[in-house]
């Protein structure tokens, strides 16, 4: 069995991996790079011969794991695509949204190769999608390989993927979380019999502070919201449309039920609403906390806005959970922040990852009164409001991920989905803890034999 990383660099980019056993090939994930544009955003899909993949597999519906699916399917027209049902239904909404975003970027930025695919093509590739349940082994197309999905606890539908071949098991963690979030339950992963583990390393460069608890973090967020309410301001929580939005909505409900925050209108918009509708549709069908709870119907005090994104207007004493989480240009949170940050009564609460080049990162690290550029076409904005950060990550801490590796004791571990220092931390720690385990960081594009 050979493995190749089709992600172009060692980073959180366009995730895509190839497994090759003799003449059988499977491709795992087909992402799009969150920061690159045009062809640079694609994984190295031309590295796999045309029409030679037997099957495609998807771990979850985030853009960096499914964004280029239609392009990869076009190159392997007969290959079935396996995923959980929630990943497929939400993935479809994400990909249709991506067509709109790319079409706009073609007009505004002159990226001629966009859109990579059309709404029509997305409808045409769907008959090849095959929905599979969690914890049930199934055969992969016409190959000698079997597969099992395991709940990854990251977002709705997210799965770790076991590939069984010739008595051996390759296990891909995908993006994983080993703790309960508000909605997602902790991952339920295999504890033994893994020969090779392909592992995400997102948080490898970040040690969680002593004494951290998710409950304590929620209470700190509640205190910020109370203070802001008392000052007559509003709170902006930049969130990703898929996953973090729904976690935050339910968290606000929880905090209100506990009397930790006052009654305040809650706004969201655009793609987030579409994804939230799907979260609600699957609320009883997937393994999760608050089973059967409908975010859009059961949050009685806090009202989610179904209005379109640019129509969201500022009011005092409201909570705005707007995407994107990094305040990227041309997103609802970016546009909204331009008129929000200069008011000292307001607060911004960051609840997830912000890339160093993103506007969100600049706001997060701005000194009081400093001016930041949110959009290159517009004048900079003065940050007079309160800005605080909270750790509600949907990724495993490095400590819990390391504990998991120690428990499973795989023969080989392949490190991906993390920056260089993050991967180095895991490499060092696994070498110390498990001297019998080979730690691999294969160069992108290069084949390595794994068994």
Piece of 56-64, 253-261, 293-301, 375-383 that binds Zn ion (CB under 5 A): 56-64
Interacting residues with Zn ion between 181 and 220 (CB under 5 A): none
Quote the least distance from Cβ 395 to Zn ion, whole Å: 8
Q: How far is the CB of 433 from Zn ion (least distance, A)?
A: 25
Q: One symbol per residue from 130 to 169: x for binding Zn ion (CB under 5 A), - otherwise; what is it?
A: ----------------------------------------
| Cβ-based burial of 75 (10 A; exposed 0-12, middle 13-18, buried ≥19) | middle
Tokens of 427: 């490499």
Q: Which of 20, 89, 165, 175 binds Zn ion (CB under 5 A)?
A: 175
**What's the token pair of residue 135?**
């914890």
**Whole-angstrom distance, CA of residue 296 vs CA of residue 411:** 46
Strands, DSSP E only, in 13-84?
Answer: 17-21, 24-28, 55-57, 81-83
Identify which of residues 34 and 270 has a Cβ nearer to Zn ion in the complex: 34
CB 160 within 8 A of CB 173: yes
The distance of closest approach from Cβ of residue 250 to Zn ion in the complex, given in angstroms and rounded to an integer, is 18
Considering the complex, state which of residue 172 and residue 320 has its C-beta at the smaller distance from Zn ion: 172
CA distance 50 to 259: 59
The window from 55-63, 226-234, 246-254, 383-391 that contacts Zn ion (CB under 5 A) reads: 55-63
CB of 15 to Zn ion, least distance (A): 6
Among 8, 10, 62, 364, binds Zn ion (CB under 5 A): 62
Nearer to Zn ion, 154 or 309 (CB): 154
User: CB under 8 Å to 395, separation ≥6 — which residues?
Assistant: 154, 175, 176, 177, 200, 202, 203, 353
Which of residues 134 and 301 has its CB atom nearest to Zn ion in the complex? 134
Which CB, 177 or 341, lies closer to Zn ion? 177
Q: Is 64 in the site for Zn ion (CB under 5 A)?
A: yes
Pairing outcome for strands 347-350 and 266-267: unpaired
Site for Zn ion in 329-358 (CB under 5 A): none
Q: What is the Cα–Cα distance from 40 to 363, expressed in whole angstroms?
A: 27
**Residue 239 · residue 332 · CB < 8 Å:** no
Q: What is the CA radius of gyration of the chain?
A: 22
| Candidates 59-67, 136-144, 212-220, 359-367; binding stretch for Zn ion (CB under 5 A) | 59-67
* C-alpha torsion 7→58→124→445, nearest 10: 20
CB of 394 to Zn ion, least distance (A): 7
Which stretch in 60-68, 91-99, 208-216, 318-326 sits in contact with Zn ion by CB under 5 A?
A: 60-68
The closest alpha carbon to 56, from 130, 117, 148, 113, belongs to: 130
Q: How many CA atoms lie within 13 A of 135 on its CB side?
A: 8
> Residue 98 or 228: which CB sits closer to Zn ion?
98
Residues in the chain: 451
For residue 156, the minimal CB distance to Zn ion (Å) is 11
Q: Are 220 and 390 in contact (CB under 8 A)?
A: yes
Q: How far is the CB of 93 from Zn ion (least distance, A)?
A: 15
Question: Nearest approach, Cβ of 24 to Zn ion (angstroms)?
Answer: 26
| Closest approach of Zn ion to the CB of residue 204, in Å | 14
Smaller CB distance to Zn ion: residue 325 or 360? 325
Give the residue with the Cβ less far from Zn ion, 62 or 364: 62
The helix/strand/coil state of 172 is strand
β-pairing verdict for 24-28 and 17-21? antiparallel
Nearer to Zn ion, 381 or 415 (CB): 415
The residues binding Zn ion (CB under 5 A) are: 62, 64, 175
């Amino acid at each position: 069995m050979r493995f190749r990383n089709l992600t172009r660099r060692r980073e959180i980019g366009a995730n895509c991996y190839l497994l090759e056993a003799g003449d059988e090939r499977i491709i795992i994930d087909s992402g799009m790079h969150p920061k690159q544009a045009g062809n640079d955003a694609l994984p190295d899909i031309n590295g796999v011969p045309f029409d030679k993949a037997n099957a495609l597999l998807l771990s979850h519906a985030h853009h960096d794991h499914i964004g280029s699916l239609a392009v990869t399917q076009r190159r392997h027209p007969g290959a079935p695509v396996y995923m959980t049902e929630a990943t497929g239904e939400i993935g479809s909404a994400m990909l249709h949204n991506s067509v709109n975003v790319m079409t706009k970027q073609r007009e505004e930025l002159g990226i001629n190769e966009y859109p990579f695919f059309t709404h029509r093509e997305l409808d045409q590739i769907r008959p090849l999608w095959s929905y599979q349940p969690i914890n049930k082994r199934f055969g992969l197309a016409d190959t000698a390989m079997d597969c099992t999905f395991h709940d990854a606890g990251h977002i709705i539908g997210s799965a770790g993927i076991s590939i069984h071949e010739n008595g051996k098991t390759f296990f891909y963690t995908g993006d994983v979380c080993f703790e309960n979030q508000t909605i997602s339950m902790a991952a339920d992963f295999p504890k033994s019999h893994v020969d090779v583990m392909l592992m995400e390393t997102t948080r490898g460069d970040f040690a969680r502070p002593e004494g951290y608890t998710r409950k304590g973090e929620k209470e700190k967020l509640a205190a910020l919201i109370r203070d802001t309410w008392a000052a007559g301001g509003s709170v902006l929580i930049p969130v990703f449309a898929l996953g973090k939005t729904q976690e935050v909505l339910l968290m606000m409900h929880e905090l209100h039920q506990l009397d930790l925050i006052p009654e305040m209108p809650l706004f969201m918009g655009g793609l987030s609403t579409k994804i939230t509708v799907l979260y609600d549709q699957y609320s009883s069908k997937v393994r999760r906390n608050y089973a059967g709870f409908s975010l859009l119907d059961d949050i009685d005090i806090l009202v989610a806005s179904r209005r379109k994104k640019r129509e969201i207007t500022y009011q005092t004493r409201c909570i705005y959970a707007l995407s994107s989480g990094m305040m990227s240009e041309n997103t609802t949170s970016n546009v909204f922040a331009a008129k929000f940050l200069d008011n000292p009564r307001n607060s911004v609460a960051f609840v997830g990852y912000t890339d160093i080049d993103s506007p969100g990162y600049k706001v997060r690290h701005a000194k009081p009164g400093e001016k930041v550029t949110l959009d290159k076409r517009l004048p900079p904005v003065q940050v007079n409001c309160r800005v605080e950060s909270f750790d509600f990550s949907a990724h495993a801490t490095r400590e819990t991920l390391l504990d998991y590796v120690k428990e499973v004791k795989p023969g080989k571990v392949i490190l991906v989905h993390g920056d260089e220092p993050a991967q180095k931390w895991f490499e060092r720690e696994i070498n110390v803890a498990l001297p019998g385990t080979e730690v691999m960081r294969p160069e992108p594009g290069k084949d390595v034999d794994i068994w």
